[in-house]
Structure 1
Amino acid sequence: MNKKLLELLNQINEKKTMVQNLVEQGKLEEAKEAKKELTEMQTQFDLLKDVLDPEGNGTAGPQNVTPVPNKEPEDSTKEFANAARRGFRNATMTEGSPADGGYTVPEDIQTRINEYRSAKFSLSSLVDVQSVTTNKGQRTFKKRAQQTGFAKVGEGAKITAKNTPQFERKTYEIDKYAGYFPVSNELLEDSDANITATLTNWIGDESRVTRNKIILEQLQTKAVTAMSSVDDIKKALNVTLGQAFKATSAIVTNDDGLQWLDTLKDSEGRYLLQPDPANPMQLRLCAGATIVPVYVIPNADLESDTKTAKTRKIPMFIGDLKEAIVFWDRNQMTLMTSNIAQIGTLNAFEEDLTIFRAIEREDCTVKDDAAYVYGQVSITDAAVTGA
């Protein structure tokens, strides 16, 4: 092939590799720009080839010159295909034996890291998250009290004293949560997969699961309210929570709870769980005048109680969780790496490792237990699975 065409072809192949790497690294804007350059290079190659190599034989000389035939190099793949067409009459070749043809059969090995699909939900998006700068502290709240109004007073009579506002304080104390993840430097250097990005995403999920666990521990400190029908949910909203919280309330449950809610019907047989027309991905329970959004946490993160045989107690948190729970964030997760650190018997320098260390400091407390109801729906496993 013409030298200039060959050089341009090599550049095109390099650019293709660059585009592929950028896409795998998630750098889509840079990949788009590289793709534009690749398109221009391909156009340039096509134009030059029409001039320098119009017949596609790799030369730009006179077309009446008879080319000297060259002996083609042996192609193991072609030889294997030819042997297969002959029915392997001249030799016994098997895929299971590498020397007898197995080497020519490619293995389907993909080093790019694939992930199984999983459902993820962060409860911190529903609660009150407050950033703090000290390891402990307090917040002052006015106590909830029923006011009775002024008393009727006759002319010249004494005016009676009324109760004044009372206050209370909520205390937080920050705890540390952490973990480390050792990775060999050979893996980081030799793998064509983005191990660092994959591990960073994994650590981010560890943080999400940690926060969910802390928040759920606080939500489950309240006494359980048994529920068995949509009427129990409406009572929790209308009476227990009342007008102070009903308008901003939501239902938080797990996959089992979603299944139970999804089977509830009105008197005309219409399902009560419906998508929000303004946001089809958001579910809501519509029961008469009661319309409340529903958030679902996977069973893996919020388990049902299955201690009783054949009975499943499904958690059902109903209320305004931003008023119910406050999450004190002292310092968002910090991630550090070191190739010289030593942890116990693990020596990163001596063992040629890179250690990823994640630390976050936080606390979680109940701000107002009147803002939510901790409900439980008890049903048989057959009712959950639909069996």
Structure 2
Amino acid sequence: MMTMLTINELNDAWIAKGQKVSDLNAQLNAAVLDDNFMKDKFAELKTKRDNLAAQRDAIKDQLDEARANEVLNMSKKDKKPLNKKELNTKDQFVRDFKNMVRGRFDAITSSVEIDADGNGGAGLTIPIDVQTAIHELVRQFATLQNLVNVESVSTTSGSRVYETLSDITPMKQMDSEDGLIPDGDDPKLHLIKYLIKEYGAINTITNNLLKDTAENIMSWLENWIAKKVAVTRNVAIISVMNKATKKPTITKMDDIKDLENNTLDPAIMATSTFVTNQSGYNVLSKVKDAEGRYMIQPDVTQADRYLLNNKPITVIADKWLPDVSGSHPLYFGDFKEAITLYDREHMSLLTTNIGAGAYEHNTTKIRCIDRFDVQMIDDGAIATGSFKTVANQTATTPEASGKTA
């Protein structure tokens, strides 16, 4: 008899299939550059990748459906006619939100929050299903959160023990079969502490919003919060990325090769990527090799992705990743190994129609609080380079340039 998979099992299967698709993408990238390129084998590999990608997407659809059913079942549990508890979680949240904005605080079932200044107000903790929609939107944006490791935590502070990347020495030869076993070198560990910080944003709304449908209100809230979360977490992640100890200066393509091949441990090279800002990408996109070809090439397996030395390159807007003293940043490494974002996953809303200038303008102010922390786990897993210009590659001989008759 077939058994139903749990949400965790579906999530693990989705991640596993996604990794297999990434591995096949890497094989396809290597195959097109191989001098022994074979059309049939490439087509076979591409078909296998496409089938796995379709299976990965199908698993994701099942995962989304399972999550939605879980929320629906939670809201329908022990359903009784005319009982307040039978209201859908999201609909109840919208009802409370409208009441909160209108100032009818006596009708709200959610808790009261106290802000940093000691002022009370009607607060709403964003329900799980709404948070899921917000997190889905965040992942769709071009955010650095997609590159780093994200760990959900249930406490405001804590610590984790990580193994330090270090050289491993060989075991010593024993003098005899029954001789004393010599001591070996122990793994080097280091402690990382996190402290959840609160990040807030205030937005002004009009009464027209309250006349909209529940769906429109939720869409507005989800998009507004998601954009704020994406931008806020990008800035926090970039500040940690800049703590990398290795910071070479780049003037030519060989310097980028050195950054890629001779800066980090070879064990993480296969999972490493590049990150730069828009101005930096503009410079790099014009650099050519000795045969006049652009060094940045489109990924044949993903139309919207580009590769630098066969490694994916992520581009961040200048306003979020600015130049420093006229130099463009270039990061390289495995960001999931280097950085962890500890996500408290406890967003909340607070409103006022009196404070923050709302009373004078007959408007309502909504404050959203997001809670997370970002820590560097292994500064040896990423390197931070910088460049102003990068020279084109030059051929030393006609044969090297590929221009011989």
Q: Scaled by the length of structure 2, what TM-score is found?
A: 0.55
Q: Tell me the residue number matched to 1:177.
A: 199
The Cα of 1:357 is off from its aligned counterpart by 2.0
Task: Find the aligned partners of 1:121 and 1:141 in 2 and give their Cα distance.
Answer: 28
| Number of matched pairs | 248
Query: Which of residues 335, 339, 342 is equivalent to 1:325?
Result: 339
Q: Tell me the residue number matched to 1:129.
A: 150
What pairs up with 1:128-147 in 2 under 5 angstroms?
128-147=149-168
Task: Find the aligned partners of 2:297 and 2:389 in 1 and give their Cα distance.
Answer: 22
Q: Tell me the residue number matched to 1:300.
A: 319
What SS does the aligned partner of 1:370 have?
coil
The Cα of 1:188 is off from its aligned counterpart by 5.5
Residues 50-71 of structure 1, C-alpha deviation per residue, up to 9 Å, x if partnerless? xxxxxxxxxxxxxxxxxxxxxx
Q: Residue type matched to 1:229 in 2?
A: K
Q: Tell me the residue number matched to 2:388.
A: 378
Task: Find the aligned partners of 1:186 and 1:255 in 2 and give their Cα distance.
Answer: 38
Residues 243-302 of structure 1, C-alpha deviation per residue, up to 9 Å, x if partnerless? 21110011010111211221222221211211111111100013xxxx211111111211
* C-alpha contact (below 8 Å) 2:285/2:295 kept by paired residues: yes
Q: Tell me the residue number matched to 1:313.
A: 327
What pairs up with 1:362-373 in 2 under 5 angstroms?
362-373=372-383
What pairs up with 1:73-112 in 2 under 5 angstroms?
none
Taking a change above 3 Å as real, the CA distance of residues 120 and 154 of structure 1, as seen in their structure-2 partners, is closer
* C-alpha contact (below 8 Å) 2:332/2:382 kept by paired residues: yes
Query: Which of residues 178, 183, 205 is equivalent to 1:161?
Result: 183
Q: Is 2:364 aligned against 1:343?
A: no
* C-alpha contact (below 8 Å) 1:120/1:297 kept by paired residues: no
Task: Find the aligned partners of 1:185 and 1:158 in 2 and give their Cα distance.
Answer: 81
Taking a change above 3 Å as real, the CA distance of residues 351 and 244 of structure 1, as seen in their structure-2 partners, is same
The Cα of 1:157 is off from its aligned counterpart by 7.0
Q: Tell me the residue number matched to 1:4.
A: none
Q: Tell me the residue number matched to 2:297.
A: 274
The Cα of 1:361 is off from its aligned counterpart by 0.5
* C-alpha contact (below 8 Å) 1:185/1:352 kept by paired residues: no
Residues 306-354 of structure 1, C-alpha deviation per residue, up to 9 Å, x if partnerless? x3xxxx20000101111111011112544x364x65435645xx97533
* C-alpha contact (below 8 Å) 1:141/1:170 kept by paired residues: yes
* C-alpha contact (below 8 Å) 1:222/1:374 kept by paired residues: yes
Task: Find the aligned partners of 2:384 and 2:285 in 1 and give their Cα distance.
Answer: 20
Task: Find the aligned partners of 1:198 and 1:260 in 2 and give their Cα distance.
Answer: 37
The structure with the larger Rg is 1
Moved over 4 A (4+): 155-159, 186-190, 194-200, 344-347
The Cα of 1:137 is off from its aligned counterpart by 0.5
Task: Find the aligned partners of 1:157 and 1:201 in 2 and give their Cα distance.
Answer: 68
Task: Find the aligned partners of 2:357 and 2:283 in 1 and give their Cα distance.
Answer: 50
Query: Which of residues 272, 276, 279 is equivalent to 1:256?
Result: 279
Taking a change above 3 Å as real, the CA distance of residues 342 and 133 of structure 1, as seen in their structure-2 partners, is farther
What SS does the aligned partner of 1:362 have?
strand
Q: Tell me the residue number matched to 1:56.
A: none
Task: Find the aligned partners of 1:262 and 1:182 in 2 and give their Cα distance.
Answer: 41
Task: Find the aligned partners of 1:200 and 1:132 in 2 and give their Cα distance.
Answer: 22
* C-alpha contact (below 8 Å) 2:162/2:377 kept by paired residues: no
Query: Which of residues 214, 218, 237 is equivalent to 2:260?
Result: 237
The Cα of 1:358 is off from its aligned counterpart by 0.9
Return 5+ residue gaps in structure 1 as ranges.
Answer: 1-118
What pairs up with 1:20-59 in 2 under 5 angstroms?
none
* C-alpha contact (below 8 Å) 2:164/2:378 kept by paired residues: no
* C-alpha contact (below 8 Å) 1:265/1:271 kept by paired residues: yes
Task: Find the aligned partners of 1:240 and 1:343 in 2 and give their Cα distance.
Answer: 53
Residues 214-268 of structure 1, C-alpha deviation per residue, up to 9 Å, x if partnerless? 0000001224221122222222222211321110011010111211221222221
What pairs up with 1:204-219 in 2 under 5 angstroms?
204-219=226-241
Taking a change above 3 Å as real, the CA distance of residues 248 and 266 of structure 1, as seen in their structure-2 partners, is same
The Cα of 1:154 is off from its aligned counterpart by 3.5
Task: Find the aligned partners of 2:283 and 2:226 in 1 and give their Cα distance.
Answer: 31
Taking a change above 3 Å as real, the CA distance of residues 332 and 275 of structure 1, as seen in their structure-2 partners, is farther
What SS does the aligned partner of 2:235 have?
helix
* C-alpha contact (below 8 Å) 2:358/2:364 kept by paired residues: no
Residues 7-53 of structure 1, C-alpha deviation per residue, up to 9 Å, x if partnerless? xxxxxxxxxxxxxxxxxxxxxxxxxxxxxxxxxxxxxxxxxxxxxxx
Q: Tell me the residue number matched to 1:112.
A: none
The Cα of 1:184 is off from its aligned counterpart by 3.2
Q: Residue type matched to 1:285 in 2?
A: L
Taking a change above 3 Å as real, the CA distance of residues 351 and 313 of structure 1, as seen in their structure-2 partners, is closer
Taking a change above 3 Å as real, the CA distance of residues 151 and 342 of structure 1, as seen in their structure-2 partners, is same
What SS does the aligned partner of 1:282 have?
strand
Q: CA RMSD in A?
A: 3.0
Taking a change above 3 Å as real, the CA distance of residues 355 and 345 of structure 1, as seen in their structure-2 partners, is closer
